[in-house]
Amino acid sequence: MRNLNKFALAILCCCLAALPQFGARRLLEFSTESPNAIADDEFGTYNFTSCQIYCYGSLLDTVQMAKLFEDSKTFVDMKLLFSPQKTLEDFDAFMAAKNNTPSRDEIREFVDAHFGAKGTELDVWTPTDWIEHPGFIDLIHDPDLKQWGVDLNNIWKELGRKMKDDVHKNPDYYSIIPVPNPVIVPGGRFIEFYYWDSYWIIRGLLHSEMYTTARGMIENFLSIVQRIGFIPNGGRVYYWGRSQPPLLTAMVKSYVDFTKDDLFAINALEILEHEFEYFINNNTVQAKGHNLVIYRDTSTGPRPESYSEDVETSQSFTTKEAKEDHYSELKSAAESGMDFSSRWFINANGTNEGNLTDAKTRSIVPVELNAILYWNAKMIAEFHSKAGNIEKMVEYETKAQKIQEAIQAVLWNEEAGCWLDYDLINEKPRNYFVPTNLSPLWVKAYNLSESEKISASVLKYIEANNLDSFPGGVPNTLYNTGEQWDLPNVWAPMQYILVEGLDNLGTPEAKALSQRWGQRWVKSNFEAYRETLAMFEKYDAENFGGHGGGGEYGVQTGFGWSNGVIIEWLAKYGRQISLSNTGAAARSCRLITVLGATAVAIVGAFAGRFIWRNWFK
Amino acid sequence: MWQSVYLLLTAIVIVASAPDRNIALKFDISQSHITVTNDVKSSLDDITPAQWKGFVTSGVDSINRQKRLEDNLLSSAITVQNGSLSHAQLLDTLPNEKSKLDSDIALKMLKASLYIYNSKCDPEAISGDQCRTYLESKPLPEGSTLRSECERLLNTQRDGHHAFRRLLPQDYKDGFHQLYNERDQPNAWDISMALYDRENEAAEKTRSRSRSDDSRNLNLVLVQFAQFVEHDLSKTVSQSMSSGLPIECCNRDQHKLQPRFHHPFCAPITSQDKYGFHNCLNYVRSALAVGESCNFGGAEQLNQATGILDLSQLYGFTDAAQNKMRTLSRGTLKSSSNGNLLPRTSDNDEHTFCAWGDNANATNCFVAGDSRVNSNPLSILVYTIFLRNHNRIAAELLSRHKNWNDEQLFQAAKTINVDIYRRVIMNEWLPEVLGANTAAQVLNTPAATAGQPEPEVSNEFGVAAIRFYFSMLPNVLHNLANTNDVASNNNVLPLTNLFELKNEIYTPQIQYTPQKLNEILQSLLHERAMKMDASYVGAIVWHERTKPTHADALAFDIQRGRDHGLQPYYKYLEACSNTKKVTGWVDFEPYIPREILDKLKNLYRECKDVDLIIGGISERIVNGTVGPTFSCILSEQFSRIHQRHQLQQTSTHSTLLDAYRGMNGSKLLCLNSNVRAVPENIFRLQSNSNRLVDCNNVA
């Protein structure tokens, strides 16, 4: 199969020039390598012309292994100055001239001569539907939090991006995937749109009453499914073999909930079904006689955006096949959005101890992916019912029912009192805490009549894992490995899943815990913002107001999903929550109220310690 | 002009304070006292016993969870490699087993305190300082394992792993241990680079001696004794992994590690190059120590040294360490080259004394009670002098007391050796460093009352004030071995160098023979010390934005001062001069020369950010070798040491000691080397007022 892939790629390279840019053509047959795979896929892996530069090949390998940039993602985000074909010809000549062993400086010269600065394909864009005072602000009682809400609403303007016209005219020269509408990006090194991030961004936009921007982003995704068949991890061609947790249908549902525009959902149904079937067809495995889905990847080679890092971890494997398998496990973990985490490690003893070389993502049935697909089926059924397609509605209700049965049979663990990921290699549940273990609560993928029982059981699970003891939010796991999706890092989408899930459960105890965690998250994010005037990509469970670390790049600010979750919860808790003033004598006035809007805040960031130390100490 | 005003003021203070025993040495900490407000008290008094226990559990769990990360670091070979830059630095800060144990308990107590801060203080807008001060009076919960571990520790012999004393309370971002970030403070390496003086370095290369201090005729022996005293009194050690292995914070290319390999104890010194890469020098946060009690609270650093002058750097301060140095025969210490050199390392301890790589074909590596003996050829020399002195005394004692056994001879020789050393330091070296008046005041400090807790070394002394000598070190030691034979005081330097300092730091490359040490000693005596100021030579700082091949002592000291939570410079200026409230740069003008002050204004956002070490080395020298603030910190410390010395002086060996009362610095050097003559004052160049003493006439 691997050889076939290579062969197909070779053919692909030869014929690319003849292909229409976004022909959504099936280029290769794919079948997952997992022994449990049952799906012989009917969708393909697709390719772009610029992929020869940015996704694989000798040029990518030579440049990335020279480590010209501190962040490996820099190179693959640089614009081509010449056509891919000319660039490759020049590169071949360059290599021949240098005896195939160019020096680092010579490689740098080649890159300087053939590539322009990164990120130049995007312009900062002020959303046209941005308003200064969306209604949610009025729901916030505390004056400092209210001002923070105003600031967060302002940040949308900093995160808006529109593609330059040249991208549409000359897509071959860029790694960016062209989309028709402007987007809100996560921020920091993530200068393009990302798939699952966009769910929380879009919810934030909807609370900010930016319906056009939200709709534009959803339409981009719909157009990508039409063109490519699935939604890649993010808006770059080098994410060609992996998706992310499929939340497109939930985005549509959120949009419809806010705008009551049922027709939008009904019109999207065909594409939503297509994406749903794509996951079912490509990602399904069997466990205990049930069909469930896993994360996987269809590309070859290291992750282009973290190329040398992957090559380094692959050093512990000797054969080409073993290295390729390792890359697949890493990219499958990237498809989960949780790259990386001890959650994906299975060592020889069947436990989660180890490091990236123990990644076995494709052999782990993840709770949330199955829960999300259940949810997708339910929502598709609901949209069909609104459209009056009873047959289709029943079809998708049945699909949902099947998935729920599989979740109950394979992933629910009576002993632990919670859902658990399932290890296909050792055929056993993985009793390690991850917030996603509670994700069925979020999408209501459980028997609603058993809420009382599940509530008692889940609360016991939470207590047993001491999850309420962390002042900065619930950590992603209880294992400190250095990876960014492990202790002590806390992530906004995971807090969202936990808090909304417990809230859905509806028992007074679960609701009380939900509220405590939700408000703790808001206060801790505010403390970090008060200190740094920044929103972070990840936070620190042990540190109230502290930000996260670990992984392969430094912590990023911006930050799309964190902002989205806070805006939603400022709207949700705004009337009840107020900041404490026990130590007010020591920290007498609060910066936000005084400083006001973001423009001032930026000045404040420079004045930094001077202001903070003198005002708060 | 300002300087003269200051001198006048100092004189007045000294005169006026004469009736009070040591007012000039008094350190005013009244302004820094923190009172816990009633609101804070009542809020934190609500914490239930179960919650206190929960916080301790969380803190201990958190530290235990780091083991996973450490396993991953080790499986990726992220630890200090033999022969690396980090190896040399590790030897400067090498922890022993007891320190690791102490630090581990202290760390868990700190982490538990941080859980309280993050759960109960920060969310309630209670400041870190308030929170810490409240917690300092709260004992760990009864019955917790951590409490019993802590109490067991307090009841054991704690020599050599006490907490540093603080002159002023901690200054951390969170009040407990968190470093300020780069938005708050300029980067340590950037400060060091900005202060580096290219012109002077060039001038030194052309041998025009522009940076030397011509007014005072100090030589390098003064500088080297400062380091020797530092080794005796102060040793901060790095935190380690729970397995005991050292922590590495940079990759093999001296670049920043990927964040996944970042140990929570890491605070690497970094600087960005033109391509955006971060050059990196290892910095591991210092080991912690349990304070006087088993209470919650902020970070206190561990001093792996004893707080008196006792030559522990030579002998070691534990019986085990000392026995490693002894021959256990005739009261002598081990040696090599027929008793003329320090003993050499064996195969199994080479990497704990020298920074040789695994494959280096190195024969030179010396052993002493402290891993810092090989830090440079000058330190090897001074350690050797005191080793020879011990063995010389032991031999003399044996000739007079034929029936004494090894233990008797050893203890007596050690006592005498230490006594001689103390007199050289307190009576000869200290006046050169502090000036005669201040040194005299130090020696006027009355004895401490017996039974009082013995004052430990101050953090400010250990990681800032005593580090003044770095700025006086030269790049190379010129060969001045024949200076005695030719007419001296000429400014034409000989063309040969004995060594280049940067090649010798923890990698002794020159061939050590008794003759070589004589040359080094002669050259030290006749080489003018560089001025104590804010510019360090290229051998000990790394001033380019390129891959470093040696460390940067100044950046390290800045980073360490911050790691230890020292207050900024101005606080010490206020506390020492006792009169002034610093409000702006202008208040530094009486102390810091204008051209340095201008540099500092460019570096720091405001005067209140200036680090203690930077303010200290920037000050104009008053009398002695250092500026007023370091003088204040040093004299405070030496008064405490003097108090403790006096308590010990009713020793059983007093009659023996009397026989050696005539020993002084020049005799010490004469009797323990083959030099023909040394200056009467061994810390100054020879001159008309400091004539050479013929060693043949010394008995």
Gyration radius from chain B CA atoms: 25
- Arithmetic mean of pLDDT, B57-81: 96
How far does the CA of residue A23 sit from the closest CA of chain B (Å)? 39
Instruction: Collect the ranges in chain A with pLDDT lower than 50.
Output: 1-45, 585-617
| B421 neighbors B346 (Cβ within 8 angstroms) | no
pLDDT over 70, % of chain B: 90
Separation of alpha carbons B662 and A277, rounded Å: 97
Residues 165-184 of B with CB under 8 A from A: 180, 183-184
- Residue B562 has a CB neighbour count (10 Å cut-off) of 25
Number of structural domains found in chain A: 1
Angle between helices A451-464 and A508-532 (to 10 degrees): 50
The mean pLDDT value of chain A amounts to: 89
| B235 neighbors B248 (Cβ within 8 angstroms) | no
Query: Which of B83, B206, B86, B192 is CA-nearest to residue B475?
Result: B206
- Are β-strands A115-118 and A122-124 bridged in parallel, bridged antiparallel, or unpaired? unpaired
Query: Which of A137, A481, A200, A407 is CA-nearest to residue B260?
Result: A481
User: Amino acid identity of A143?
Assistant: P
The mean pLDDT value of chain B amounts to: 89
* pLDDT for the residue numbered B580: 77
- Chain A residue numbers with beta carbons less than 8 Å from the beta carbon of B130 are 583, 586
DSSP conformational letter for B301: B
- Residue A200 has a CB neighbour count (10 Å cut-off) of 25
Query: Which of A44, A43, A54, A15 is CA-nearest to residue A171?
Result: A54
pTM score of the predicted model: 0.91
Query: CB-CB: which of A472, A482, A487 is closest to B118?
Result: A472
Interface test with B, best of A433, A532, A542 (most B CBs within 10 A): A542
Whether the predicted pLDDT of B209 surpasses 70: no
| B286 neighbors B126 (Cβ within 8 angstroms) | no
Start-to-end CA distance of chain A, whole Å, equals: 64
Separation of alpha carbons A231 and B629, rounded Å: 65
| A291 neighbors A284 (Cβ within 8 angstroms) | yes
Asked if the structure places residue A321 within a domain, the reply is: yes
Which segments within B125-247 are labelled E, that is strand? 162-163
Q: H or E element: which one contains B597?
A: helix B594-603
The first and second tokens of residue B76, run together, are: 């990726």
- Chain A residue numbers with beta carbons less than 8 Å from the beta carbon of B180 are 609
Separation of alpha carbons A296 and A559, rounded Å: 27
How far does the CA of residue B33 sit from the closest CA of chain A (Å)? 14
DSSP string, B681-693: STTB--BTTBPEE
The first and second tokens of residue B99, run together, are: 């320190």
Q: H or E element: which one contains B200?
A: helix B198-205
- Cβ of A186 under 8 Å from any chain B Cβ? no
Asked if the structure places residue A265 within a domain, the reply is: no
Cα-Cα-Cα-Cα dihedral of A349, A355, A361, A364, to 10°? 30
Separation of alpha carbons B225 and B217, rounded Å: 16
Q: What is the 3-state secondary structure (H, E, C) of B450-468?
A: CCCCCCCCEHHHHHCHHHH
Q: Vertex B116, ends B114 and B118: CA angle to 5°?
A: 65
- Arithmetic mean of pLDDT, B231-247: 96
Separation of alpha carbons B355 and B375, rounded Å: 10
Separation of alpha carbons A193 and B366, rounded Å: 61
The first and second tokens of residue A497, run together, are: 């899943």
Residue of B nearest to A315 (CA): B76
The first and second tokens of residue A555, run together, are: 């912590």
Residues 326-385 of A with CB under 8 A from B: 342, 353, 355
* pLDDT for the residue numbered B34: 84
User: Amino acid identity of B271?
Assistant: S
- Chain B residue numbers with beta carbons less than 8 Å from the beta carbon of A70 are 255-256, 275-278
- Chain A residue numbers with beta carbons less than 8 Å from the beta carbon of B606 are 610
Cα-Cα-Cα-Cα dihedral of A397, A398, A403, A405, to 10°? 110
Buried (b) or exposed (e) across B256-289, using 16+ Cβ within 10 A?
bbbbbbbbbbbbbbbbeeeeebbbbbbbbbbbbb
User: Amino acid identity of A360?
Assistant: K
Q: Number of A:B CB contacts under 8 A?
A: 135
Separation of alpha carbons B415 and B652, rounded Å: 10
Asked if the structure places residue A326 within a domain, the reply is: yes
Query: CB-CB: which of B183, B258, B262 is closest to A608?
Result: B183
Separation of alpha carbons A145 and A139, rounded Å: 10
Gyration radius from chain A CA atoms: 24
* pLDDT for the residue numbered B360: 75
Residue of A nearest to B55 (CA): A469
CA of residue A158 relative to chain centroid, distance: 20
How long, in residues, is chain A?
617
Residue of A nearest to B273 (CA): A70
pLDDT tens, position by position, B546-592: 999 999 999 999 999 999 999 999 999 999 986 678 999 999 999 99
How far does the CA of residue A481 sit from the closest CA of chain B (Å)? 4
| A234 neighbors A355 (Cβ within 8 angstroms) | no
Query: CB-CB: which of B122, B261, B609 is closest to A527?
Result: B122
* pLDDT for the residue numbered B455: 85
CA distances from B518 to B378, B511, B538, B675 (A): 11, 13, 26, 6
Query: Inter-chain contact A70–B275, Cβ cutoff 8 Å?
Result: yes
The first and second tokens of residue B119, run together, are: 């759960």
Asked whether the CA dihedral B301, B306, B307, B309 is positive or negative, the reply is negative
Residues 226-255 of B with CB under 8 A from A: 255
The first and second tokens of residue B641, run together, are: 């040491």
- Cβ of B97 under 8 Å from any chain A Cβ? no
* pLDDT for the residue numbered B359: 79
Separation of alpha carbons B513 and B381, rounded Å: 11
| B433 neighbors B520 (Cβ within 8 angstroms) | no
How far does the CA of residue B69 sit from the closest CA of chain A (Å)? 4
Separation of alpha carbons B428 and B136, rounded Å: 41
* pLDDT for the residue numbered B493: 54
- Chain A residue numbers with beta carbons less than 8 Å from the beta carbon of B37 are 583, 585-586
Query: CB-CB: which of A470, A553, A610 is closest to B605?
Result: A610
Alpha helices in A28-171 (DSSP H): 51-54, 58-65, 73-76, 84-97, 104-114, 143-159, 165-169
Query: Inter-chain contact A524–B123, Cβ cutoff 8 Å?
Result: yes
Separation of alpha carbons B314 and B328, rounded Å: 16
The three-class DSSP label of residue A241 is coil
How long, in residues, is chain B?
699
Query: CB-CB: which of B115, B260, B275 is closest to A482?
Result: B260
Separation of alpha carbons B284 and B105, rounded Å: 18
Whether the link from the prior residue into A190 is cis, omega within 30° of 0, is no
* pLDDT for the residue numbered B491: 52
Q: Vertex A165, ends A159 and A170: CA angle to 5°?
A: 115
| A202 neighbors A215 (Cβ within 8 angstroms) | no
| B494 neighbors B523 (Cβ within 8 angstroms) | no
Query: Which of B131, B142, B180, B69 is CA-nearest to residue A471?
Result: B131
Asked whether the CA dihedral B292, B295, B298, B299 is positive or negative, the reply is positive
CA distances from A276 to A6, A334, A378, B202, B265 (A): 28, 19, 11, 71, 46
pLDDT tens, position by position, B269-307: 999 998 889 999 999 999 999 998 999 999 999 999 999
Whether the link from the prior residue into A440 is cis, omega within 30° of 0, is no
| B108 neighbors B297 (Cβ within 8 angstroms) | no
Domain of residue A334 covers 297-359
pLDDT tens, position by position, B14-29: 333 333 333 345 666 6
* pLDDT for the residue numbered A153: 98
Query: Which of A149, A231, A152 is CA-nearest to residue A194?
Result: A231
